[in-house]
Amino acid sequence: MTPTHPATRQDNWRAAIWLIADMSLNIWALSIVKAMGLDYSASQLVFLRASVGFLLVLPWAFHERSAFFKLDRLPLHTLRIGLSTVTLAASFFAIARVPFALFSAINFTRPIILMILAAIILREHITKPRWVAALVGLAGALVAMNPREAALNWGMAALVLTVVAGTSAIIITRQLKGTPAVVMMVFYTGGLALFTAPFAWIDWVEVAPSHWPFLLAIGLFAQTAQFCFLKAHWLGDAGFLGPVSYLSLVLSTGAGFFLFGEVPGPSLIIGSMIILSAAWYIGRSA
């Protein structure tokens, strides 16, 4: 959601506050997943997160129920849900097994992967400088994932899958342009819960009573973060909010350090700077 007219300076700063709230809430949700991700399966965590999110959007869906009377492009909706399921499950699996800062840094390659997929799938024209920036950004990802500082494991593989599947879901979302936001949100949360339910049932681990508030908070934080994200992009200009989003790397590095004792190594810091520079150039030249 973007404003129909250029945002004022005050609107942009208000949008920045909403975006920072979005990033903070997401980091709190991921911190809980990271703390409990080795005790519960990714499918169980995604199912609980999606179920809470679905319940939260139901009042909105009821109020806007007329938007569901003329549904079309159901195959695309199904593909989007499937890719989103893979993305969220892989990200929950990865965050429990890789450093927080690395998780955040590699996720910043999404604009780079999006550009590449848009060129391949949507036949969008990409200039040579942007291709060079993409290669530089991917090289930065390799630097950040230096196996000398971070042991290669299934978490690393899941992190790569998170970026590829998540970016593919964005491509499908672009194909669904014009679909009411409430329909997209209900399909997303309800579809995630439906798709992960069988796997959550198979892998279900009895939840300790003291864990329930934290597990339910994942869905509450994540869904509230989505609202903050939409509010930010409704108020502010994308060009202004792009650089603000880079604060999430600072916030996630701080969370990793203070909550989990993770200290980023030189390769991660250098690789992150390369990734952010490439993503910034691609976004600026879009």
pLDDT tens profile 85-123: 999 999 999 999 999 999 999 999 998 998 888 888 878
Q: Is residue 151 predicted with pLDDT exceeding 80?
A: no
- Tell me the per-residue pLDDT of 26-46, one tens digit each, with 9 for 90 and over: 999 999 999 999 999 999 999
Pairwise CA distance, residues 137 & 278, whole Å: 5
Q: What is the longest distance spanned by two Cα atoms in the chain?
A: 56
Q: What integer best gives the mean pLDDT of the chain?
A: 90
Token representation of residue 198: 């069988």
Q: Provide Rg for the chain, Cα atoms.
A: 19
Average pLDDT for 255-262: 95
Looking at per-residue confidence, does 9 or 279 come out higher? 279
> Exposed, middle or buried by CB within 10 Å (0-12, 13-18, 19+), for 122?
exposed
Residue-range domain boundaries for the chain:
9-284
Confidence (pLDDT) at 138: 93
Per-residue confidence (pLDDT) for residue 5, from 0 to 100: 55
CA atoms within 13 A on the CB side of 49: 30
